[in-house]
Amino acid sequence: ASMGRTIVELFYDVISPYSWLGFEVLCRYQHIWNIDLRLRPAFLGGIMQQTGNKPPAMLPKRAEYMLKDIERMAKYYQVPVRMSGDDFQRIMGTSSLAAMRFITAIDMTNPQYLEALSREFWMHFWSQHEDISQPENILAIARQAGLSSELSQKALEMISTPTVKDQLKETTAEAIKYGAFGMPAVVAHYNGKPHLFFGSDRLELLGSVIGE
């Protein structure tokens, strides 16, 4: 990291709509704040399982609130997240494991595509309500993010390798080590220690802590 820049890590999963909001805001702030933003693709399912957390929508009142909350935040941050009551079933029925392994493979081989690729996954799942768990959809998403078919195919083959599986597990374990129990988990390394911020609604607080 260059002199005096605060390293800010964003642990995210494309199945999480709040991760998308946090991602877009931090991608904007990285050009204004004196931060070095590190995108860290992790697996939300693993975090939930290992910390005993439950999806917010399991509580009906919270699900009801979440619909309004996402709508307000999407409007405020100008991010095209579209959510309806049926989406809770859709999320429960979708595994993001293949997508997050694919994103991890790209992070390991061609990190210059990481931001565009991650955004494309969110667009397809949260804006266009498409399936992101099937190989052919993953390849189509990668092409839209500007990856060549050759590169996408190679990354798709990598998702079943121990190297990629272990890397995703490791990143997920790292998030948990910092205290994460859900996503997004934002970790700012400031004054010699890590500061964890959970969710996409604590970014002003993050700015305040790191002097921005």
Active site residues: 16
CA distance 135 to 18: 25
How far is residue 46's CA from residue 13's CA, in Å, rounded to a whole number?
11
The DSSP line for 41-102 is E--HHHHHHHHT---GGGSHHHHHHHHHHHHHHHHHHT------TTHHHHHHT---HHHHHH
Nearest Cα to 125, choosing from 73, 87, 75? Answer: 87
Phi-psi region of 10 (alpha: psi -120 to 50; beta: other; left: phi over 0): beta
Report how far Cα 108 is from the mean position of its chain's Cα atoms.
16
User: What is the number of other CB atoms lying within 10 angstroms of the CB of residue 127?
Assistant: 14
